[in-house]
Chains A and B, each alone.
Chain A
Amino acid sequence: MSMADKSPSDFTAFYIHHSGWLKGWLCRQLNCRETAADLLQETFIRVLLRQRQQVSIREPKAYLTQIARGLVISHWRRQDIEQAYREALTHLPEPVAPSPEVTEQLLETLCLLDQALSKLPTPVQQAFLMAQLDHLTYRDIAQQLNVAEVTIKRYVKRALVQCMLVMDQNT
């Protein structure tokens, strides 16, 4: 059964029926009621968005947990990245305090990179960072990693595609 042709009141009923246990589940995962409440809303927003794609929901419990779990994982990742980022800042030779907007942007891209690169072999990650962050030439990277130049380009391309796939996933 598709939820696409359901009326808004059906969605309200769906929300009322499932929000209780899902909130409990999220609270247990996160140990924080506020975050749990945020992610609960976010889960149902995703359901609404996907509803427009005419996804049929056969097992609402499994479906909701799947979405919620994805959000919990993103939340953890984001927290860890933020912590690592703050730590990195304290090691800077001169104190730097980027504006909240810039920080937000950096953190978002850091999450993206972390998610995309963690799935790739180390040399691919290295080649990608050296090319896209340090702007080294393929030749320099090839020399440092002791790999052929054509391979370096292939590595960089592979990582770029991985990043774009993660961008797709997160929208």
Chain B
Amino acid sequence: MHARDGSKYLMTQSEQASSPNHAHLLEEAAEWLLRHQEGPLSDAEIAEFKAWRQRSSAHEHAWQKAEQLAQRLQCMPPDITRATLNARGAQRRATLTRLALLIGLVPLGWAGWSQVERHFGADYATQTGERRQIKLNDGTRLWLNTRTRLDVTITTAQRHIHLYEGELNITTSADPRPMKITTTAGTLQPLGTVFTVREAEDYTQVGVTEGRVAISLHNGQQHLVPAGQQLRFNATRLFSPNTYSKSQEGWIQGMIIADNQSLEDFVHNLSRYHRGWFRVSPELAALKISGSYPITPLDQTLNMLARTYPVQISRSGLGYLTTFTRKATPGKGSQSTTAP
């Protein structure tokens, strides 16, 4: 009798797990969890919550799962969690090679992994803080900036670079085969040029130092970017251009060159080269920064900033969290590790 009940329970659970209804319940449970976290519920909300929970055993189950998850998350030290998950990113590539072998042995459906595999299996890649020069066999010279991934395909008819992520400086060669660079937003065709293309989270940015670059958006729209101009675009629209100067390619020399840039933008740029988290207090976000700063070592960069500007920079949590706040009045005790 007892065993029968057990098997029944297992069946219902597995049936739920595969139904869209189950996912919907989990979503409702997550919503309730967040509402609890956001602040105390009103009496009406408590009644509503109770009623929801009592609607069925599946509702109660979903809630217990959400609560269990919340409890587990509460026990997690943020520093160690983040550091571990970050380190996992670097490992994943190795794991995928092993996975590919495993999949090769017994070919069964593993659609879930194929996308990840493509994502990480780029021809050329740099890690956070790394930059690298590559010469392709057609003579094209590439500089890869931090966190960049790309594929290169050169055939007798054409040269093709697929930029998945990151930033790429390209000096084209005198090769008659047409060259194309594809990003999520569209295609770029360099016309005898030196230029930089950056694939950010939700846009592609191109800046031209020499020659011109023709852009075709995925929606068919076309545009020509001349030397000295910089332009952002996504799959459906072009943003208004602004001037592009060689100083924006300072990263090739390992420098960030700021010319009246807001601290927020500066730190955002700096964060691309370093692991961890950077926070700028809102009152400092608009502070204007100028000058040349080395990208690494980070301590030196931060020291330079702290010496020149009224910012206090503190690093905590394994060095994974860097916070910029307004410098305290002189004489006050400071926790900053980078203060002079």
| Residues of chain A whose beta carbon lies under 8 Å from any beta carbon of chain B | 4, 25, 29, 49, 52-54, 62, 65-66, 69, 72-73, 76-77, 80-81, 83-85, 87-89, 91-93, 105-106, 108-110, 112-114, 117-119, 122-123, 129, 132-134, 143-144, 153, 156-157, 160-161, 163-165, 167-169
Contact = CB atoms under 8 A, between A and B. Distances in A.
Interface residues of B, number: 52
B87 A87 contact: yes
Given A77-B95, A157-B34, A164 B76 contact: no
B174 interface: no
Contacts of A123: 201
For the complex of A and B, 10 pairs with smallest distance between CB atoms: A88-B83, A84-B87, A160-B30, A133-B78, A52-B7, A84-B84, A164-B26, A85-B84, A109-B72, A157-B30
Nearest to B4: A52
Nearest to A163: B69
8 contacts: A83-B91, A84-B84, A85-B84, A87-B84, A106-B75, A134-B78, A161-B23, A164-B69
B11 A118 contact: no
Contact of A69 (B7, B11, B79, B106): B106
B282 interface: yes
Which applies to chain B's interface (DSSP): helix, strand, loop or mixed?
helix
A73 B116 CA distance: 15
B31 A129 contact: no
Interface string B79-117: 111111101100110010011001001101000100010
B157 interface: no
A91 B81 contact: no
Given A81-B88, A105-B75, A109-B76, A62 B95 contact: no
B108 A110 contact: no
Nearest to A86: B84
Nearest to A167: B65
A88 B87 contact: yes
Contact of A133 (B33, B34, B81, B98): B81
Given A54-B11, A77-B95, A112 B72 contact: yes
B29 interface: yes
B30 to A, nearest CB: 4
A81 B84 contact: yes
Contacts of B92: 118
B56 interface: no
Contacts of B319: 91
B274 to A, nearest CB: 14
B71 to A, nearest CB: 10
A118 B85 CA distance: 9
Contact of B91 (A84, A93, A164, A168): A84
A169 to B, nearest CB: 8
A15 B76 CA distance: 40
Given A109-B75, A117-B85, 4 more contacts: A85-B84, A88-B83, A106-B76, A164-B62
B30 A113 contact: no
